[in-house]
Amino acid sequence: MTDLIAHLEAQVASADRLLSTVLAQTDAIKTQDLPTLLARLGDVQTELQTRRRLELERDHLIHAAAARLSVAPATVDLEALLDGLPPETVFRARALSAHLRRVLARVAQVHSGNRVLIRQELTFVDHLLRILTGTPQPGYSPAGVWAEAPRPVTSVDARV
């Protein structure tokens, strides 16, 4: 069942690449490096295509094991895939599976953080545009009373 080990190794490699990419996105967001951020978005799309292919391979492995065990594919888990394999293969597969779960959890965590960072950046841009255009922005003053709409800015110092 070297197909299972090869598949898990490919899954881990893909997840590791995805983690590197979302971490690079974090850096690009924090430094406001739009070209790098867009390039990393392309990398994410490429890796997602790889992950789709790997999911098809995973389905094939699960269906083959289900047929071998005469059970429904939905009931096949890692332990069912490991049934009858040598102990060293079982140990390696479990270790790869655990590593994969950890990396994918980290990817989800970093991606969630990136979404928060981007939302903050967009909120700041919205705030600046409202000030520049004089568009009212609802809110309260420091004294706790309803704040007036900001006055339109009639000139902007764009010197860097």
Asked if 1 and 89 count as a contact pair (C-beta separation under 8 A), the reply is: yes
Is-contact 22 44, C-beta < 8 A? yes
Is-above-0.85 flag for pTM?
Answer: no
CA distance 7 to 89: 13
CA dist., res. 57 & res. 135, Å (int): 53
pLDDT given for residue 12 in this prediction? 97
Cα-Cα-Cα-Cα dihedral sign, residues 120, 125, 126, 127: positive
What tokens does 153 get? 């800015």
Q: Which domains does the chain possess?
A: 2-133 (1.20.58.300)
Residue closest to 15 by CA, chosen among 137, 101, 112, 115? 101
Q: Closest Cα to residue 29, out of 148, 114, 87, 103?
A: 114
How far, in Å, CA of 16 to CA of 98, rounded? 13
pLDDT of amino acid 89: 93
Which two tokens mark 42? Answer: 């392309």
- What is the residue-level pLDDT of the chain in tens, covering all 160 positions? 579 999 999 999 999 999 999 999 999 999 989 899 999 999 999 999 999 999 999 999 999 999 988 999 999 999 999 988 899 999 999 999 999 999 999 999 999 999 998 898 888 788 777 777 777 666 666 676 666 655 555 566 667 6
Give residue 125's pLDDT: 81
